[in-house]
Amino acid sequence: MLFQKISIPIQPFTLKLALPIGISFYIFQVISYLVDVYRGDIHAEKHLGIYAVYISFFPKVMQGPIERGKKLLPQLHSRHTFQYGQASYGLKQMAWGYFKKLVLADSLSVYVNQVYNDLPSYKGLSLILATFFFAIQLYCDFSGYTDIALGSAKILGINLTQNFKAPYFASSIKDFWGRWHISLSSWLRDYIYIPLGGNRVGKVRHSLNILITFLVSGLWHGASWNYVLWGGLHGVFQIIEGFFPWNSKKSPFQRNKHYHFLLCLITVPCTFLLVCFAWIFFRAVTIQDAFYVISNMFDGITQFPAYIQDCALQMGLTFSHLSYNCLPLVLLFLYDLASLKTDVITFISRQRFFIRWPVYLFLLLVILLFSEKGVSTEFIYMQF
């Protein structure tokens, strides 16, 4: 409208190209820089070129991580020389990112889009399975991009912020947000939650601060009630779980590692289910679609054999399809489980030649054989 008023002809496609890619990531990074300079946490960068690279460093420009000036600016000022160890690590991290994106995210997107793009045609277990598939798809898509970004930056001698740490092994919603999109959750904590008062206020105000922070997180993803509800759900979940006695630091479940392990056997699956429930609003196009999924996901469950059979027929799933996708999912599960205790890439790199190279070749073979052919899927977070 503005261009039309001043008689400048412009097509929507041209305008789309003119909009900066990853603009929301630009904005969050610039805000953190300005606030940190204002607070005196960092000095204002006087070199225009270095500042421009800090804002638009190519590996992270589209989907983050959202870097802080305190970490990235000193690295840009430093002189870097090629280091074989860093380059080798970066290439391996990129390979793992490509595995998650090409093998898992793109393959699962076929089933997710099939169901969520035509919801009235599906009921029962199909809706549940598509939601679980979306949870894994989104994680592999976003964290896969992050691994590629971190790996390519590491080849250049730059260390970016780790953005994911096995989030689906989280034992609470609070723990989940300490593992999922870490650069965003820490940004929201430092620039919204803490300035609002954090947990240094009364219980009611503390709960309100949590809710506001998560609502902002939802709005960051888009001006849609779906995202607002998604963020609000996470806020409500975290407020409610704060009243559970086992979350107290004085609880024996937190102080005794054996009790804590037993508790995690319950809380980890429950947290995953709550996160998946919230993903329904994130993936559905409208709120009505989201409530359709929720209201029809258990349709026919009383006839359990038919419940499963209908799902297989509706989604075109066969035993061979499930078996085909099983190996990549097992690899993802084992990698994330091991990453809770160690750096998997470093651990493999330290093994003997005849151990580590078969692992590398096996991963390459899996990427070549299991990657979805003929499916054009951009990264999901490209839209935010």
Q: Rounded to an integer, what distance in angstroms lies between the CA atom of residue 158 and that of residue 75?
A: 7
Q: Rounded to an integer, what distance in angstroms lies between the CA atom of residue 112 and that of residue 123?
A: 14
Which token pair is 71?
């970490």
- Tens of pLDDT along 90-144? 999 999 999 999 999 988 888 899 999 989 988 888 899 999 999 999 999 999 9
Task: Specify whether the CB–CB gap between 183 and 279 falls below 8 A.
Answer: no
The pLDDT of 284-311, averaged and rounded, is 87
Residue 270 pLDDT exceeds 60: yes
Q: Helix or strand or coil: residue 20?
A: coil
Q: Helix or strand or coil: residue 256?
A: coil
Q: Please enumerate in sequence order all residues whose Cβ is within 8 A of that of 102, keeping only pairs 6 or more positions apart, or say none.
A: 367, 371, 372
Q: Rounded to an integer, what distance in angstroms lies between the CA atom of residue 45 and that of residue 29?
A: 14
Higher pLDDT, 138 or 312: 138
- The conformation of residue 102, written as its DSSP 8-state character, comes to I
Q: How far is CA 223 from the centre of its chain?
A: 19
pLDDT computed for residue 340 by the predictor: 92
21 phi and psi angles, rounded to 5 deg: -70, 135
- Among residues 203, 166, 270, which one has the least CA distance to residue 211? 203
For the whole model, what pTM was predicted?
0.88
Q: What is the mean pLDDT of the chain?
A: 85
Q: Is the peptide bond before 252 cis (omega within 30 degrees of 0)?
A: no
pLDDT computed for residue 191 by the predictor: 93
The pLDDT of 6-28, averaged and rounded, is 56
Residue 17 pLDDT exceeds 50: no
Q: Which of 109-113, 248-252, 296-300, 329-333 has the lowest mean pLDDT?
A: 248-252
pLDDT computed for residue 19 by the predictor: 45
Q: Please enumerate in sequence order all residues whose Cβ is within 8 A of that of 284, keeping only pairs 6 or more positions apart, or say none.
A: 116, 119, 226, 290, 292, 293
Question: Measuring CA to CA, how many Å separate 211 from each of 78, 206, 236?
Answer: 40, 9, 7
Q: Please enumerate in sequence order all residues whose Cβ is within 8 A of that of 241, keeping only pairs 6 or more positions apart, or say none.
A: 172, 173, 174, 247
Q: Helix or strand or coil: residue 196?
A: coil
pLDDT class of 374 with cuts at 50, 70, 90: low
Task: Please tell me which residue in 221, 234, 258, 321 is annotated as part of the active site.
Answer: 221
Q: Rounded to an integer, what distance in angstroms lies between the CA atom of residue 146 and that of residue 138?
A: 12
Q: Which of 37-41, 124-128, 248-252, 272-276 has the lowest mean pLDDT?
A: 248-252
The pLDDT of 260-285, averaged and rounded, is 90
Q: Can you list the alpha helix ranges (DSSP code H) found in the chain?
A: 2-5, 12-18, 23-39, 48-56, 69-77, 84-98, 106-116, 125-155, 173-177, 182-188, 203-221, 225-241, 252-255, 257-283, 287-296, 304-315, 319-339, 344-349, 353-370
pLDDT computed for residue 256 by the predictor: 64
Q: Please enumerate in sequence order all residues whose Cβ is within 8 A of that of 76, keeping only pairs 6 or more positions apart, or say none.
A: 50, 53, 54, 158
Amino acid identity at 192? I
55-69, 206-220, 313-327 — which one is most confidently predicted on average? 206-220
Residue 336 pLDDT exceeds 70: yes
Q: Please enumerate in sequence order all residues whose Cβ is within 8 A of that of 224, keeping only pairs 6 or more positions apart, or say none.
A: none
Radius of gyration of the chain (CA): 23
Is residue 181 flagged as an active site residue?
Answer: no
Higher pLDDT, 320 or 278: 278
- Tens of pLDDT along 51-97? 999 988 888 877 779 999 899 999 999 888 889 999 999 999 999 99
The pLDDT of 221-230, averaged and rounded, is 87
Residue 283 pLDDT exceeds 90: yes
Q: Rounded to an integer, what distance in angstroms lies between the CA atom of residue 85 and that of residue 344?
A: 15
pLDDT computed for residue 248 by the predictor: 61
- Tens of pLDDT along 245-258? 666 666 655 666 76
pLDDT computed for residue 148 by the predictor: 94
pLDDT class of 26 with cuts at 50, 70, 90: confident
Task: Specify whether the CB–CB gap between 173 and 198 falls below 8 A.
Answer: no
pLDDT class of 325 with cuts at 50, 70, 90: confident
Please give the share of the chain, as a percent, with pLDDT higher than 70: 88
pLDDT computed for residue 370 by the predictor: 79
Other CB atoms within a 10 A radius of the CB of residue 254 amount to 14
Q: Rounded to an integer, what distance in angstroms lies between the CA atom of residue 349 and that of residue 338?
A: 15
Task: Specify whether the CB–CB gap between 134 and 112 falls below 8 A.
Answer: yes
